[in-house]
Structure 1
Amino acid sequence: MRALVIEHDAITPAGTIGDRLVHHGFELTRLLVVPEERHQTPDVEVDFPAPSGFDLVVSMGAPWSVDAEEEIGTWIGGELALLREAHDSGVPVLGVCFGGQALAAALGGGVERAPRPEIGWVAVETREPRLVESGPWFQYHFDRWVTPPDAVEIARNDVGPQAFRIGRSMAVQFHPEVTVDIVRTWRKSGEKDIRSHGLDPDELVDRTRELAPAAERRAHAFVDAFLRHAGLR
């Protein structure tokens, strides 16, 4: 089986999600949207492949807003078209954070500013614990999605919706993929944001290290459950 993994920048890889897909026999085609040298000027030209060549599309996180086309350029329109075509043609999509917001926007929902940012380890209220456990899950976002009209919300917290399913596709607002190395990288790139919200960046990394074994187990269980939901396992 083949999975297209859309990684929007160099520091937001598929992490544990990618590892678990490989464990289940997926061949990953990784598409890096914005190269490291264009991080400050992310309005690049991107040729997205047709989803028909894949069994699964995974759209990962990003430091930008889905609706910030003036900043990130027209590639976001191309990605939304890809996600819509994939879902409509029966190729399941998994959207993570920015990717979840993009899936929501592609399928008739939208994206708006969250009432407050979420950074760090946060529990969610889940209606379908076999698909999404209560956590804690790692969060790092400033926006939230407006759930598509045909989707079923399956998790939320006081900031907003945290997961939905629609057909074979699914979106989560949090980051199941994180590892200690990923959070350490985000701690370096986002130190100003982290401190501005009253958090200690080093404590965030230490907390991640403490939770890493349980977080990896939850991430594996999440990927396994999603694949069963999507009919891919």
Structure 2
Amino acid sequence: MSAATRPALVLEHEADAPAGLLADWAAERGIDLEVFAWHADGDGDGAPDVAGRPFVVVLGSEASAFDDTVPWLARERALLDRALALDVPILGICFGGQHLARALGGTVSPASRPEVGWLEVESLDPETVPPGRYLQWHRDAFTPPPGAELLARSPVSAQAFRHGRHLGVQFHPEVTPAIALGWATNYPDSVRRAGTTVADVRAGGEEHAADARRRAYALFDMFRSRISG
């Protein structure tokens, strides 16, 4: 396969945290994706090269982006560093946004409190981050790296930044209501610690699914337009 036709690379960390709406969007836009599963490959041996990719997406994880004991974290950092050196655009989502922020010189640390559920995001750049409710599921938070533009925030943490052609978000635009409900069911302690319930997550998904999909597609379209311009 020539570099010009290589698919975009998606880094998946857990089987229950797939590309979701991002995969739907890519299929509708005729964009090929290659998903590499760190969780199925141990410490990351055999990770595909980023050279020639139109972009790289780093999905969420239960791991902490500042925990250097995570077996695959150093290898993913090397992959991100190579993408940055080659100016391959990166979209980081939740954990992915944190890891991108750290790679660019920002910091990651425990948030003042976890955010879980379909929560309002205050957009400072509505053309890039459409305002509204997104699925939140995080206990850690990033500081935007030096030179980055803060695009969105919540009462708890920064929610989105842009650094050149790279975009990091703390929320989960890719998550469908079914994925969110699966997390709520499988990780009840995370739900409880955030002061919400499985029923709230289910109801939020039912109420906000259509708008969340529309906002996700708009965000992905804006990311694509900026990296192709």
The TM-score by the shorter chain falls in which range? over 0.9
User: What is the distance in 1 between the residues matched to 2:135 and 2:118?
Assistant: 4
Q: Which residue of 110, 113, 117 maps to 2:110?
A: 113
Q: Which residue of 131, 134, 139 maps to 1:142?
A: 139
Matched residue SS, 2:21 = helix
Once the two structures are TM-superposed, the CA of residue 209 in structure 1 deviates from its matched residue by 1.4
Matched residue SS, 1:131 = coil
The answer to whether the aligner puts 1:4 opposite 2:9 as a matched pair is yes
User: What is the distance in 1 between the residues matched to 2:92 and 2:209?
Assistant: 22
AA at the equivalent of 2:112: P
Cα 1:25/1:105, change in 2 over 3 Å: same
User: What is the distance in 2 between the residues matched to 1:197 and 1:95?
Assistant: 23
User: What is the distance in 1 between the residues matched to 2:145 and 2:226?
Assistant: 18
Once the two structures are TM-superposed, the CA of residue 84 in structure 1 deviates from its matched residue by 2.1
User: What is the distance in 1 between the residues matched to 2:227 and 2:15?
Assistant: 28
Report 1:34-73 matches (<5 A).
Answer: 34-35=39-40, 44-47=42-45, 48-70=47-69, 72-73=70-71
1:8-35: CA deviation from partner (whole Å, max 9, x where unpaired): 0101001001211222111111011113
Q: Is the 8 A contact 1:97 1:172 kept in 2?
A: yes
User: What is the distance in 1 between the residues matched to 2:124 and 2:207?
Assistant: 27
Q: Which residue of 144, 151, 169 maps to 1:172?
A: 169
AA at the equivalent of 2:51: S
AA at the equivalent of 1:45: D
The answer to whether the aligner puts 1:23 opposite 2:28 as a matched pair is yes
Matched residue SS, 1:136 = strand
Q: Which residue of 26, 32, 41 maps to 2:37?
A: 32
User: What is the distance in 2 between the residues matched to 1:203 and 1:162?
Assistant: 22
Once the two structures are TM-superposed, the CA of residue 156 in structure 1 deviates from its matched residue by 1.0
User: What is the distance in 2 between the residues matched to 1:212 and 1:125?
Assistant: 18
AA at the equivalent of 1:103: L
Report 1:59-208 matches (<5 A).
Answer: 59-70=58-69, 72-73=70-71, 75-208=72-205
1:24-68: CA deviation from partner (whole Å, max 9, x where unpaired): 111111011113xx9xxxxx3213222104111000000110122
Mark the runs of 5 or more structure 1 residues left unpaired by the alignment. Answer: 39-43
Q: Percent identity, aligned pairs only?
A: 39
Once the two structures are TM-superposed, the CA of residue 158 in structure 1 deviates from its matched residue by 1.6
User: What is the distance in 2 between the residues matched to 1:157 and 1:64?
Assistant: 22
User: What is the distance in 2 between the residues matched to 1:105 and 1:197?
Assistant: 25
State the Cα RMSD in Å: 1.5
The answer to whether the aligner puts 1:14 opposite 2:39 as a matched pair is no
User: What is the distance in 2 between the residues matched to 1:185 and 1:125?
Assistant: 26
Matched residue SS, 2:23 = helix
1:76-110: CA deviation from partner (whole Å, max 9, x where unpaired): 11111211221231210000000000001111112
User: TM-score with structure 1 length normalisation?
Assistant: 0.91
1:159-196: CA deviation from partner (whole Å, max 9, x where unpaired): 11100011111000000011121012101211122123
Matched residue SS, 1:170 = strand
Aligned length: 223
